[in-house]
Structure 1
Amino acid sequence: MIDISDITMIRVISDVGSINKAADLLNVSQPTLSKKVSRLEHKIKMELFSRDSAGMVPTEAARFLLREGDELSTQLSIIERRLELMANKVGGIVRIGVGPIISQLMLPKVLLDFSEQDYQFRVSVVTLSQQALLDQLKRGEIDIAIGPFADDEVPDEFAAPLQTSDRIVAAVRDGHELASQDTIRLEDVIRFKSVLPNIPKSLGQQIMALVQGSSLEPNILCENYGMAKSIVANSDYVTAGPETLFRTEFGKGELIKLNFQTEVRWHCKCLVKPEILLSPIVKEVVDIFSQYMAPYSK
């Protein structure tokens, strides 16, 4: 029966192209490693390597085992992670991945709530792009992903217990040419220099449908809304984002809110693997986020 150690052996030999070098890296003798390769080839009745002037070259059978081995390693990591979470309500750690807007919108409130309770576990947080959130959640590198996912962007393998959304508004300084207008078009924003974050796929589709092919490339690409607000307050730049992000500045009159004639909405969901959601400490963290997000239903 093939096991993970066989996959590791094939990978090392493939990487270095030499039995001698691979034996050193695997801390075994060259004859022992050669016998292990021969026994495995005999077991599967196929050659794993061809020998030429370049050294040990993996055959299609070896490449197939390496591809499948990557998936197997991922699945084993997920299983180990689930067992770890099930066993460690005390002293465990929940790994959270969030999108840039979430890191500025609700994450500070969530972490403050966490700090005010005597939880017997820890949390770690990373800020990632939309695709990186999905990739790391799939590989089990994070336990919870909270980011800008639309309904059709949630893979079937994930549960989505929570959601939230907000309308997108633009913001300018008082005295800006656009400040006196009640509503504006997306095309109006394009006429001015802008400071904007990376636009999530689902939001980008809404925007492109409205600007009819015009480019919405910001002059300054910036994920930090604190910095974007400062630039806008002191220049003729325009920025845009979920309305809640600007609530304080709008209330104090530091920035002027501009509503779009056609509503554009930002959507956000909390994603987690169903089996991981069964862990008590992961459920505790999802419950904290539920104070700022609504239950999800399609």
Structure 2
Amino acid sequence: MPEQILPTTVVGSYPAVGSGGLRALFDPLKPARDTAVSDQISAGIDIISDGQVGRDMIALVADFLPGVKGQNVTGQIHPAGKPITLPGVKYALSRHPAVKGILTGPTTLAHGLALKTPVYRDRNELIPDLAHALAQEARYLSDAGVTILQLDEPILSTGTADLTVAREAVSVITKNLTVPSCMHVCGNIRGCIDDILRFPVDILDFEFANNPDNVDVLSRSDLKGKKIGFGCVDSADQEVESTAVIVDRITKGIDIFGPEIMLLDPDCGLRMHSREGAYKKLEHLVLAAHQCREEL
């Protein structure tokens, strides 16, 4: 982990900016990945990602799993025969020393797929097999040297998922990791925070810009030694907020949690923004972090 307080990072996706030329013929994702990584480095982000420029968060993993065809589960799930996200992460690591590996969590993945097989009676039976498949990919990323391994579980705040099953699935993935683990949960967490704090991860990442109520929720909770990924840039708003607005959000977080346990990032991925807008949001995040560090 970076040694300075209030390190900046990203939650995941970046706008997929394509281009032509010979490189794109051999690897259609390479130009977009180059852009995503270069922009994060140029903006000054401490812990970058590979940009997740290829597929949506479900297809990103599901397209490579035996037992899945398209959005349908057609047989028993098995681990992929080769690494899925590792090539992009390795490229990011060749450009920057601190990279976050990001995987769609097993419960969110299960709820994004349709059951078209008698192998699983319901999603709660599917989730453990997805967890074991993801555990293999997580080990690839850990062994490659990622700084953090993040699981995206936006479904957990909706009231749709069985949180006990979800917690057991996350444990399958994180129990043997040699790097810090993080879980990202979108939305308002008031109704689920007590359960989420029991998940076996080192960092919990939440929205605070678009869901300021989450600050109040966590201020009343025992964090059980976990660090907080503090979403302080509104990913749902196309407008680029000023550095001063972001500083104000960070300052409120510092007053409650202290700077030592906070990692600063956008609320969610920036895939749906223009490249210019996404870059400016990251640039303002970095400027706000620098200002807060100086004030401390």
Same fold (TM over 0.5): no
TM-score tier by shorter-chain length is under 0.3
Higher helix share: 1
Larger radius of gyration: 1
TM-score (structure 1 length as normaliser): 0.24
TM-score (structure 2 length as normaliser): 0.24
